Amino acid sequence: MWNPRSTLLFFLIAGGALAIFSVAQTSSKTREAGSAPWAASSAERALRLAQSGHCKEALPLLKQSRSRATDKDLKRNIGLAGVRCAMFDGQPDAANEFLLFLNREFPHDPEVLYVSVHTYSDLANRAAADLAMTAPQSAEGHELHAESLETNGKWDEAAKEYRLVLEQNPRAPGIHFRLGRLLLSKPSPSPADAEEAKKEMQAELAIDPSNAGAEYVLGELAKQNQLWDDAIQHFSRAAKLDASFGDAYVGWGGALVSLKKFSEAIPPLQTAVKLQSGNPAAHYLLAIAYSRTGRKEEGDREFAIQQKLTQKGAAGETAGSQQSPN
């Protein structure tokens, strides 16, 4: 839940850029860059007001100066001061405008990214607190609570919250999918859990036929039971619903390989390696499909890629296990 003191602490710590504004330095740099005196004077006054905590007065000037400043350091300081003041003054829209400005002008600046992370996180916390206070028993309130419980691994409690959502809105999209995912997220899901998850995925598709994730999970469940025709059907649907769904193409091609339909497996597996060039399983399956259809040279190439990726992954795991815990 949002805490004003934690917000204040963040902006005091976040720092170098926010605690910050050396007006003399900024003014000097601006004059050296040849900026118009009126722009420098307005920005200087805005930064001085922001630094002294007069955010209500500073914000209009910061907004004006943002579009007029030409010096990069001045622009950056204006943007950071604008975020700080907008958050303190309870103006989330203005804070977002300043963040968009900063990320456009300084796209890879570490401090801008750091401030962006914390500001968006704080805005999310404020919205969550408002929802919890004003409508905790709403479908959205239960769904947000369920998401929090799910994140903390409290599967059963999360499931109860999701079912409360369905009590209020039986056709709420995404909820049956999440219930099925919860069942399969348990440390050791039982056959009964898998069957229940299957029913939830089918219920989801009855509400939202475009849910590629539900089709994919049904494909995985069919694959586990070696029901290859069913697996192909679900994986291919998932891929058609979401053309960027690399895992769906891997599952589709892999199921065809299991049925020894090697020629049919090649197109989805070719797409899979384009989408997931670093996935050794995709290259391995494509290598098999190529080799079994007489395309030995292409098969050897894919086997070589798969072996290289596997060795690289193993080396990375070894290096990680040898790192000091400190």
pLDDT at 245: 97
CA 293 remoteness from chain centre: 40
At residue 1, the pLDDT reads 40
Whole-angstrom Cα distance, residue 217 to residue 70? 53
Beta-carbon contacts of 272 under 8 Å, excluding residues fewer than 6 positions away, are 246, 249, 250, 253, 279, 282, 285, 286
Taking alpha carbons only, the member of 241, 234, 239, 242 closest to residue 217 is 234
User: How does residue 307 score in pLDDT terms, banded at 50, 70 and 90?
Assistant: very high
The 10s digit of each residue's pLDDT in 40-71 is: 578 888 888 888 889 899 899 999 888 888 88
Q: Tokens 């290289």 label which residue?
A: 308
Q: How many CB atoms lie within 10 A of CB 312?
A: 12
The pLDDT of residue 14 is 40
Average pLDDT score over residue span 166-179: 95
pTM score > 0.85 for this model?
no
The angle formed by the CA atoms of residues 324, 325 and 326, to the nearest 5 degrees, is 85
CATH top-level class for 241-317?
Answer: mainly alpha
Q: What's the pLDDT at 319?
A: 54
- Is the pLDDT at 15 greater than 50, yes or no? no
pLDDT in tens, 254-282: 999 999 999 999 999 999 999 999 999 99
Between CA 302 and CA 300 the distance in angstroms is 5
Instruction: Tell me the CA distances in angstroms from 116 to 16, 80, 177, one per residue in order.
Output: 15, 10, 31
Mean pLDDT of 91-100: 92
Is residue 39 predicted with pLDDT exceeding 70? no
pLDDT band at 151 (very low <50, low <70, confident <90, very high): confident
Q: How many CB atoms lie within 10 A of CB 163?
A: 13
- Alpha carbons 222 and 52: distance in angstroms, whole number: 64
pLDDT of residue 322: 53
Examine the pLDDT at 105 and tell me if it is beyond 80.
yes
pLDDT at res. 103: 94
The one-letter amino acid code at 99 reads L
- Indicate the helix (H) or strand (E) that contains 210: none
Q: What is the pLDDT of residue 19?
A: 36
Q: Where in the chain is the domain with CATH 1.25.40.10?
A: 241-317
3-state class of 279 per DSSP? coil
User: For residue 82, is pLDDT > 70?
Assistant: yes
d(CA 100, CA 55): 19
Range 4-122: architecture per CATH:
Alpha Horseshoe (1.25)
DSSP state at residue 14? S
